[in-house]
C-alpha cells in the first residue's frame, strides 16, 4: 500500500524537470517493472474470497492509470525525432501498462461490482489516450462494466451516469477526438448486439454517448473562438441535450455558461430568458436547495423558494435593461403574489409594485426601436456541422439595417461568398466545398393576444408585432397570365414563403433554426384585400394616437392621408375597382364573390 502511494506521489510531483528525458524514462522503467511485480502478487495473494483487499486493488488501479496518463509518456506531444528515440529504447510504456490494467480488471471476477462506478472515471481517462491499439484493447472494459452492473441490478444506471459526467469533464479538458468517438461506437455496439439482454438498452446508451460526444467536441472546438455567436450555438446544443436526457446538474452548468456569454455581448433580454430556464426548475417552497441547483456563489439560498426569488429579481433587472417590460411585469406579478399572500413581506411587495408602475409607464412613454428579422442560410461543406445546410432566423440589434447585419455576418466568415438570390439553393451549392451565405429580411407574422378585443394604443401593440414570434414570411411578386397593359394589378400574384422557427424569438439566443418552411400563393384579389387592410389599420392607429394625445404633431397623419387621397405613383384603389369590380372578372370568378364584397367594404371604410 505504502509503495503504491509513494509511486503515485512521485509520478504526480514530477521529481525531475520535464526536459530531463532520460532520467524520467529511467524512473518510469523502474516503476513499470515494479508495478508489474506487485500486480503478480495481487493476483496470487489478494484475490480469492477470503483474502481480497478492496483498498489495495483500488490503489493499484489509480496508480496504474496515473502512470499511464502522466505528461512524460504522452509521445504525441514530442518531436518526431525524440519520439522515435524513446520508442526504440523503451517502447510505448502506456501500451504495456494499459494491457496489464485490462488483464487485472478481467481477473477481478465477482469483485468487479465493488469498483463501479468509482473506477469508471479512471478507465475513461485511460481509454482517451490517443493510442489506437490501447483504445481498442481497453474500450471493451466499459461493456464488461455494463454487463457486471446489469447482472447485479438489472440496469447499468450508475455506470451510465458516471460516464456522462466524466466524459463532459474530460472532453472540455482537451481529451478525446473524432477517432475515439468512432471506436467507442463501433466496439461497444459490436459487444452489445451479441448480448441477449443488453442488445436494445446497450445500443440506446451507445448512441446517446456518441451524440453527446459530437456536441462536446463541437463545443470544445469553438470554446476559444473569437466568434461568440458560434460559442452560444454550441453551448445551446449541449444544454438542450442534457435537458433531453434529464441531467439537471449538467444542464444548469451550461445555462450559466450561456448566460455569461450573453452578458459579455450586452444581450440582456437573452440573458434573462436563459436564467428563467433555471428559475423554472424551482418551486415556491420551503424544500431545501440541492447543491447542484445553486451553482453560483452569488446566491445565498437555503430553500428553493429563496433561490427562485433571487433569480426572479435578477431576471427582472435584465428584462428592464433589454426594454422587455411586458415580460418583467409578468414575473413581477408572480413575485408580488408570493410577497403578499405567502411571505407577507410588504416591504418587498412595495418595491416590486413600484418597479411595475415604472414598467407600465415606460411601455406607454418610451420609444422602443423595432428590431428587423433576417433569414440566413449556410450552404457548402466549408461550414461546421451545426450550421451546414441550415436556415436560421436572426433578430437584428436596435437600428441594425440589413447591410450592417450582412457585413457583421461576413466578418465572421471572411471566406464565404454571398448568394445573390433568395430562392433555395440547388445540390451543387450545398455540396460545394467552400461557403455560401444567403441573407434577406423577413417579416414577423403574429396573431395578437386575444385580450386585445378592441382598439388599443399603438404604443402597447407595437411590442407584440415584433416579440414572441415564431412565424416569419418573405413575399415576392410574380406575374401570371398575359400582361394587361390597362391594369397591372389583375395578374399580380404574390409568392409567400413562411418560415417557422424551433422556438419563439426573442429567447435564449438571438437566432433560432427554421424547423419548417412552406409556400403559399396569394391571388391578386387577396393581395388587394391585404394591402387595403394594412393601410386602413395604419390610418386607424394614427387616428387613435391623436385621440389619445391631441398634442401630437399632425404632419405624419396628413402625409398619410394625402398619399391615399391623391396617390401619385400606383394610382390607389381605383386600380382595384377597375381590375376586380368589372362584369368580366365577376362573371369569370363566381367563387370570389365574398372576397369582392370584402374589398368593397374596405374601400368604403377607407
Residue 436 has pLDDT above 70, yes or no: yes
446 and 562 share one domain:
no
For residues 165 and 116, membership in a common domain is answered with: yes
List C-alpha distances in Å: 78 to 95, 130, 178, 179, 207: 17, 13, 21, 20, 34
> Is there a single domain that holds both residue 49 and residue 124?
yes
For residue 109, say if its preceding peptide bond is cis, omega within 30 degrees of 0: no
> Residue range 510-524: average pLDDT?
95
Is 294 a residue whose pLDDT tops 90? no
Three cell numbers written together for 124: 475513461
- Look at residue 519 and give its three-state secondary structure: strand
Q: H or E segment at 452?
A: none
Residue 144 near residue 187, CB atoms below 8 Å: no
Look-up of cell digits 388587394? 528
Find the helix or strand (DSSP H, E) in which 129 lies.
Answer: none
Mean pLDDT across 420-425: 90
pLDDT, position 570 = 60
Residue 295: the pLDDT is: 67
Task: Give the end of a domain, one of 183, 215, 246.
Answer: 246
How confident is the model over 32-40, as a mean pLDDT? 96
For residues 484 and 441, the model is more confident at 441
Confidence check: pLDDT of 375 > 90: yes
Residues 6 or more apart whose Cβ sits within 8 Å of residue 525:
580, 589, 592, 595, 596, 599
Least Cα distance to 210 among 241, 251, 173 occurs for 241
Specify whether the CB–CB gap between 115 and 58 falls below 8 A: yes
- Tell me: pLDDT of 54 over 90: yes
Of 484, 499, 522, which residue sits at a domain end? 522
What distance, in Å, lies between the first and last C-alpha atoms of the chain?
A: 94
- pLDDT average, residue stretch 208-234: 90
Tell me: do 80 and 2 sit in the same domain: yes
Q: Judge if 60 and 113 occupy the same domain.
A: yes
Residue 458: the pLDDT is 76
Lowest mean per-residue pLDDT among 177-191, 269-283, 288-302: 288-302
Phi, psi of 522 (to 5 degrees): -105, 125
Q: What is the mean pLDDT of residues 297-301?
A: 74
Identify the pLDDT of residue 479: 82
- Residue 484's pLDDT is 65
Residue-level pLDDT at 487: 65
Residues 60 and 171 in one domain: yes
Taking residues 239-250, report their average pLDDT: 94
Please tell me whether residue 477 adopts helix, strand or coil conformation.
Answer: strand
Asked if residue 230 and residue 252 are part of one domain, the reply reads no
pTM of the model as a whole: 0.86
- CA pair distance 366, 355, nearest whole angstrom: 15
Distance CA 198, CA 156 (A): 10
Q: Which segments within 403-543 are labelled E, that is strand?
A: 417-418, 436-445, 469-479, 492-505, 511-522
pLDDT of 28 over the 90 cut:
yes
Specify the CATH number for the domain of residue 323. Answer: 1.25.40.410
User: What's the Rg (C-alpha) of the chain?
Assistant: 33
Report whether pLDDT(299) > 80. no
Do 157 and 167 fall into the same domain?
yes
Q: Tell me, what's the pLDDT at 485? A: 61
For residue 285, count other CB atoms closer than 10 A to its CB: 11
Tell me the C-alpha to C-alpha distance, in Å, between residue 147 and each of 48, 116, 199. Answer: 21, 11, 11
pLDDT (0 to 100) of residue 300: 77
C-alpha cell at 123: 478507465
Residues 387 and 268 in one domain: no
Q: What is the mean pLDDT of residues 538-560?
A: 84
Residues 6 or more apart whose CB falls under 8 angstroms from that of 100 comprise 35, 36, 39, 64
Contact yes or no for 69/108 (Cβ under 8 A): no
- Number of independent structural domains in the chain: 4
Cell numbers found for residue 85 = 528515440
Indicate if the alpha-carbon torsion angle 214, 216, 221, 222 is positive or negative.
Answer: positive
Does residue 175 carry a pLDDT above 70? yes
Return the C-alpha cell found at 492.
Answer: 399580380
Q: Out of 224-228, 480-484, 563-567, pick the least confident.
A: 480-484
State the helix-helix crossing angle for 325-341 and 304-321, rounded to 10 degrees. 150
Position 49 scores a pLDDT of 87
421 and 357 within one domain: no
What is the extent of the structural domain holding 537? 524-605
Q: Which of 195, 222, 246 is the last residue of a domain?
A: 246
| Rounded average pLDDT over 173-184 | 95
C-alpha dihedral sign at 298, 300, 302, 307? negative
Backbone angles phi, psi at 469, to 5 degrees: -110, 140
Length of the chain: 606
Residue 548 has pLDDT above 90, yes or no: no
pLDDT over threshold 80, residue 120:
yes
| Mean pLDDT of the region 189-198 | 93
As a whole number of angstroms, the distance between CA 590 and CA 344 comes to 67
Q: Which helix (H) or strand (E) holds 561?
A: helix 555-565
- Alpha carbon distance 331, 536 (integer Å): 35
| 469 within 8 A of 446, measured Cβ to Cβ | yes
535: CATH: 1.20.58.740
Q: Which residues contact 219 (CB under 8 A, 6 or more apart)?
A: 171, 172, 234, 235, 237, 238
> Which of the residue ranges 38-47, 118-127, 405-414, 565-574 would you say has the lowest mean pLDDT?
565-574
In this structure, of 116-130, 319-333, 476-490, 495-509, the range with the lowest mean pLDDT score is 476-490
CA atoms within 13 A on the CB side of 431: 3
Q: What is the average pLDDT value for the chain, to the nearest integer?
A: 92
501 CA to centre of own chain: 13
* Mean pLDDT, residues 143-155: 95
8 Å CB contact between 24 and 75: no
Q: Are residues 415 and 494 in the same domain?
A: yes
pLDDT at 486: 61
Question: For residue 159, what pLDDT band results from cuts at 50, 70 and 90?
Answer: very high
Does residue 383 share a domain with residue 362? no
Amino acid at each position: 500500500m505504502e509503495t503504491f502511494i509513494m509511486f503515485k506521489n512521485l509520478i504526480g510531483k514530477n521529481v525531475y524537470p520535464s526536459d530531463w528525458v532520460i532520467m524520467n524514462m529511467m524512473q518510469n522503467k523502474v516503476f513499470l517493472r515494479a508495478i508489474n511485480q506487485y500486480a503478480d502478487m495481487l493476483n496470487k495473494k489478494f484475490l480469492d474470497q477470503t483474502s481480497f483487499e478492496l483498498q489495495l486493488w483500488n490503489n493499484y488501479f489509480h496508480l496504474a492509470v496515473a502512470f499511464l496518463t502522466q505528461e512524460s509518456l504522452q509521445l504525441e506531444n514530442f518531436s518526431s525525432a525524440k519520439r522515435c528515440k524513446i520508442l526504440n529504447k523503451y517502447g510505448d510504456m502506456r501500451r504495456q501498462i494499459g494491457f496489464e490494467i485490462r488483464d487485472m480488471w478481467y481477473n477481478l471476477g465477482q469483485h468487479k461490482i465493488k469498483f463501479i462506478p468509482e473506477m469508471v472515471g479512471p478507465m475513461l481517462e485511460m481509454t482517451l489516450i490517443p493510442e489506437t491499439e490501447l483504445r481498442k484493447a481497453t474500450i471493451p472494459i466499459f461493456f464488461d462494466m455494463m454487463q457486471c452492473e446489469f447482472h447485479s441490478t438489472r440496469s447499468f444506471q450508475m455506470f451510465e451516469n458516471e460516464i456522462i459526467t466524466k466524459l463532459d469533464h474530460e472532453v472540455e479538458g482537451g481529451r478525446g477526438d473524432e477517432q475515439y468517438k468512432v471506436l467507442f461506437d463501433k466496439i461497444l455496439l459490436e459487444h452489445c448486439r451479441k448480448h441477449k439482454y443488453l442488445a436494445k438498452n446497450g445500443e440506446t446508451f451507445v448512441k446517446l454517448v456518441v451524440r453527446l460526444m459530437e456536441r462536446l467536441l463541437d463545443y470544445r472546438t469553438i470554446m476559444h473562438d473569437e466568434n461568440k455567436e458560434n460559442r452560444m450555438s454550441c453551448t445551446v446544443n449541449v444544454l438542450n441535450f442534457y435537458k433531453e436526457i434529464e441531467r439537471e446538474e449538467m444542464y444548469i452548468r451550461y445555462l450559466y455558461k450561456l448566460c455569461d456569454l450573453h452578458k459579455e455581448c450586452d444581450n440582456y433580454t437573452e440573458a434573462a430568458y436563459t436564467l428563467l430556464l433555471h428559475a423554472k426548475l424551482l418551486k415556491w417552497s420551503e424544500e431545501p436547495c440541492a447543491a447542484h441547483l445553486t451553482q453560483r456563489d452569488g446566491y445565498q439560498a437555503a430553500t428553493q423558494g429563496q433561490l427562485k426569488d433571487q433569480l426572479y429579481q435578477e431576471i427582472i433587472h435584465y428584462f428592464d435593461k433589454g426594454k422587455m417590460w411586458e415580460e418583467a411585469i409578468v414575473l413581477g406579478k408572480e413575485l408580488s403574489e408570493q410577497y403578499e399572500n405567502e411571505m407577507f413581506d410588504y416591504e418587498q411587495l412595495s418595491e416590486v409594485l413600484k418597479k411595475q408602475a415604472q414598467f407600465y409607464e415606460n411601455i406607454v412613454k418610451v420609444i422602443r426601436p423595432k428590431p428587423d428579422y433576417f433569414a440566413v442560410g449556410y450552404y457548402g461543406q466549408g461550414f461546421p456541422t451545426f450550421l451546414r445546410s441550415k436556415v436560421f432566423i436572426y433578430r437584428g440589434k436596435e437600428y441594425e439595417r440589413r447591410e450592417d447585419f450582412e457585413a457583421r455576418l461576413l466578418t465572421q466568415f471572411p471566406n464565404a461568398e454571398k448568394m445573390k438570390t433568395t430562392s433555395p439553393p440547388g445540390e451543387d451549392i450545398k455540396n460545394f466545398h467552400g461557403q455560401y451565405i444567403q441573407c434577406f429580411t423577413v417579416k414577423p407574422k403574429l396573431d395578437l393576444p386575444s385580450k386585445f378585443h378592441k382598439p388599443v394604443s399603438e404604443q402597447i401593440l407595437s411590442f407584440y408585432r415584433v416579440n414572441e414570434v415564431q412565424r416569419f414570411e418573405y413575399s415576392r411578386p410574380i406575374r401570371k397570365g398575359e400582361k394587361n397593359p390597362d391594369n397591372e394589378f389583375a395578374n399580380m400574384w404574390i409568392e409567400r414563403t413562411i418560415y417557422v422557427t424551433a422556438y419563439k424569438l426573442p429567447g435564449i439566443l438571438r437566432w433560432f433554426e427554421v424547423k419548417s418552411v412552406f409556400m403559399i400563393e396569394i391571388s391578386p384579389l387577396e393581395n388587394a384585400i391585404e394591402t387595403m387592410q394594412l393601410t386602413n389599420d395604419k390610418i386607424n392607429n394614427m387616428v387613435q394616437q391623436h385621440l389619445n394625445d391631441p398634442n401630437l404633431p399632425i404632419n405624419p397623419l396628413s402625409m398619410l392621408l394625402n398619399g391615399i387621397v391623391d396617390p401619385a405613383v400606383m394610382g390607389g384603389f381605383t386600380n382595384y375597382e377597375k381590375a376586380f369590380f368589372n362584369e368580366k372578372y365577376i362573371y369569370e370568378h363566381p367563387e370570389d364573390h365574398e372576397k369582392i364584397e370584402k374589398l368593397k367594404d374596405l374601400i368604403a371604410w377607407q
